[in-house]
Structure 1
């Protein structure tokens, strides 16, 4: 197995254990992360996001497969099964991840998932009707950003 494929495997194995510290250890200090909800996270923010999700996801179950990597890039598929705290609705989010590496660590991490599918599950009728609109996506992004900022401030995690 390529060392970067092992790194991705280690990352998701840590996620399955809800070990956000081990997840963050897979990241380069200059890491950048984005998905449909959390856009443009940098440096300490991605690790803080995983910590927040691990702590809040009481019934979170993570599975992963199809890990591939070479010297520069990698990818994997992972599924997150959890209860969305904002509504109490069950979600099965199917995610394709892309990675770039530097110095043996993940320096760029992009998660791709169908926002409309997610919003229908997480938000119910609101997601069904508005999940395809940029307006709802921006609202979710704004709420996610605010939640992460508060979490980091409460934990004394510096924002850069």
Structure 2
């Protein structure tokens, strides 16, 4: 097993335990992260996102939190993973089962420099947002609104002492 695969295993084991500090330690200083809600640059933002999401789950939904990862594979430069998260969406309190496929790039030190997660936004929005997600989840309007709110929430979280 390649060392980068061990990095992915450590990352997802920490995620299952909501251990954002260990998750953040898997990223390089110049890391990039992109998914349907976030587009982040730098370890401060990426690690901050995981800290924010883990904190919200611990305080508002640890009773239903479950993470399953599978298909973890990595070589000297790239990796991939499938993961499924069961959680309570903090904004609405609605239960979500999200299915995500991640791709990764690693630097020579074995740290993640690029992480892209992809999932079905419309499926997610129907679960997380209810009727608005059902009616508008397929539109760029709702996707952009979610992205703006996520970015604002992260900036508030990062500004806290």
| TM category, shorter | over 0.9
1:101 aligns to what? 106
Task: Report deviation, 1:17.
Answer: 1.1
1:84 aligns to what? 89
Q: Does 1:20 align with 2:20?
A: yes
Task: Report deviation, 1:43.
Answer: 2.7
Distance in 1 separating the partners of 2:155 and 2:29: 19
Task: Report deviation, 1:34.
Answer: 0.7
TM superposition outliers: structure 1 runs of 4+ over 2 Å: 40-43
Distance in 1 separating the partners of 2:41 and 2:131: 29
Superposed CA offset, 1:65-94 (max 9, x none): 100111110000001100111111100000
Q: Does 1:120 align with 2:126?
A: yes
Query: How many residues matched?
Result: 155
Residue pair 2:30, 2:41 contacting (<8 A) in 1 also: no
Residue pair 2:24, 2:43 contacting (<8 A) in 1 also: no
2:38 aligns to what? 38
Task: Tell me the SS of whatever aligns to 2:147.
Answer: helix
Match of 1:141 among 138, 141, 147: 147
Distance in 2 separating the partners of 1:67 and 1:43: 22
TM-score (norm 2): 0.94
Distance in 2 separating the partners of 1:131 and 1:53: 21
Q: Structure 2: any 5+ residue segments left out of the alignment?
A: none
Root-mean-square deviation (CA), in Å? 0.9
1:110 aligns to what? 116
2:55 aligns to what? 55
Superposed CA offset, 1:120-157 (max 9, x none): 00011100010000000000000000000000001x4x
